[in-house]
Amino acid sequence: MTSAAHRRKFHRRKFLAASAVTLAAPGFLSARNANDKLNLAIIGVGNRGAANLAGVAHENIVALCDVDPNNAPKARDQFPQASFFTDYRQLFDKVANSCDAVVISTPDHSHSLPACIAMSLKKHVYCEKPLAETVSEVRHMQKLAAKYRVVTQMGTQIHAGENYRRVVEIIQSKLLGEIRQVYVWNSSKPVGGRKVNRKPSAKFDLDLWMGPIAGEFFEAEMNKSSWNFPWPHFHWRWWWEWGGGTLADLGCHYMDLPFWALGLTAPQTIRASGQKTYSGDNTTPDVMRVDYHFPRTSQHNAIDLVWEHGVAGPDGGQRTFKGYGAGVLFVGTQGELVADYNKHQLLPEKFAKDFRAPAKSLAPSLGHYKEWTEACKGRGTPLCHFEYAGRLTEAVLLGNVAYRAGQEITWNAEKMTTGRAPADQYLQPQHRRGWELPS
């Protein structure tokens, strides 16, 4: 079948799927015993997909999907009763009426479409971070989540940990005084690679892997690294065509902490700079700094947040903290706090010596995945639902927008514009015909 014929068939499939919505509404879960297992469809089962599948394996896995069948043998062996697909559109055609929710662990450029199809069919959605590749896709996902009243969760797994809870309690107790500055950094850098003019090494359907993205697939050879994945797996993220580099890869995990602790919403201005110092044709920078300014709100004073990657600490690594190759530094008028995923430390030493932690006020999480699965059964609300996760993702993505535009931007969150064409062009995806997001 030609790609054009395949896309025409997809339009017909979307119509057929939409006609089945009334049979697949999430409200039916309330009529079931809340202890019943969810019927889950898993889209993407390799790498992060394997970890997310393990996180929901306590439920009933009815369908597995991966564009590369070589990613799937372990999952198919573990869940032999599950139907297997290489095309998530076919998955929705076949199992829409027999699944309750969907877990999405595809590359960034293929997050929004399966998520939006699922929500338009009133399926609950778990989606890996970042929610999408562009701001407009994130907004559309938020809109559908609210419209169809589905339970959602973004894959910021660290949010469920006890360490983040203790940090949030300290910040919100005001024991550090007023927080005016936050520094977030990660020493991680992209893996260099070069485009090569030869037949693709991948043995799966690359047109399907490209999904909604316009343009041509290219073959690449990656430099040696500990991330030993065959092209294009994992390494797609170092090219703007499919991902957002280190900022999009890790920003949602680390910026999650200040967003949660301080109640941040939309930045007012964003300024970005960086450079590409590694050898390769990749287009994302390995050293980058983004300065966000968040205006004063009823929850906090004006706050300046700085993101940096490719450095060992704030201000280009001029200040470092032993044991914190990546972290978050809250600068208060009375003291400072540095944190990473698993630990935190108060500064300076005299302040730490006299410090008394506030009483615990945040209840332990059921577990990142169980928050979502239990909420799908009518119990509780996931903390990284798309309303919250969308705001976080949007700020992360705007850092890349400012960098690519090469200019400071002023963000009008209500109108979703910077007011400047060189920047606004990066807010919208360039999707090819036949792969539009459903409403």
Domain encompassing residue 323: 162-190+242-363+385-424
Beta strand ranges found along 144-278 (DSSP E):
152-154, 179-186, 193-196, 219-222, 269-275
Tens of pLDDT, residue by residue over 214-247, are 989 999 999 999 999 999 999 999 999 999 999 9
Q: Are residues 107 and 15 in the same domain?
A: yes
Q: Are residues 333 and 416 in the same domain?
A: yes
Residue 370 belongs to some domain of the structure: no
One-letter amino acid identity for 271? R
Strand order in the sheet with 101-104: 83-85, 60-65, 39-43, 101-104, 124-127, 152-154
Q: Would residue 326 be called left, alpha or beta, if left means φ above 0 and alpha means ψ between -120 and 50 degrees?
A: beta
**Helices 48-55 and 368-376: crossing angle, nearest 10°?**
60
Instruction: Write down the residue that tokens 């015909």 correspond to.
Output: 433
Residue 198 belongs to some domain of the structure: no
Q: Are residues 133 and 20 in the same domain?
A: yes
Q: Are residues 168 and 130 in the same domain?
A: no
Beta-carbon-side half-sphere exposure of residue 2 (alpha carbons within 13 Å): 3
Q: Are residues 181 and 68 in the same domain?
A: no
Q: Are residues 167 and 314 in the same domain?
A: yes
Q: Are residues 396 and 343 in the same domain?
A: yes
Tens of pLDDT, residue by residue over 134-163, are 999 999 999 999 999 999 999 999 999 999
CA-based angle 156:105:428, to the nearest 5? 85
Residue 25 belongs to some domain of the structure: yes
In the chain, the number of structural domains is 2
Give the residue from 130, 177, 178, 134 showing the smallest Cα distance to 155: 130
Give me the CATH number covering residue 48: 3.40.50.720
pLDDT tens for each residue of the chain, 439 residues long:
333 344 434 443 443 344 333 333 344 443 355 569 999 999 999 999 999 999 999 999 999 999 999 999 999 999 999 999 999 999 999 999 999 999 999 999 999 999 999 999 999 999 999 999 999 999 999 999 999 999 999 999 999 999 999 999 999 999 999 999 999 999 999 999 999 999 999 999 999 999 999 989 999 999 999 999 999 999 999 999 999 999 999 999 999 999 999 999 999 999 999 999 999 999 999 999 999 999 999 889 999 999 999 999 999 999 999 999 999 999 999 999 999 999 999 999 999 999 999 999 999 999 999 999 999 999 999 999 999 999 999 999 999 999 999 999 999 999 999 999 999 999 999 899 999 999 9
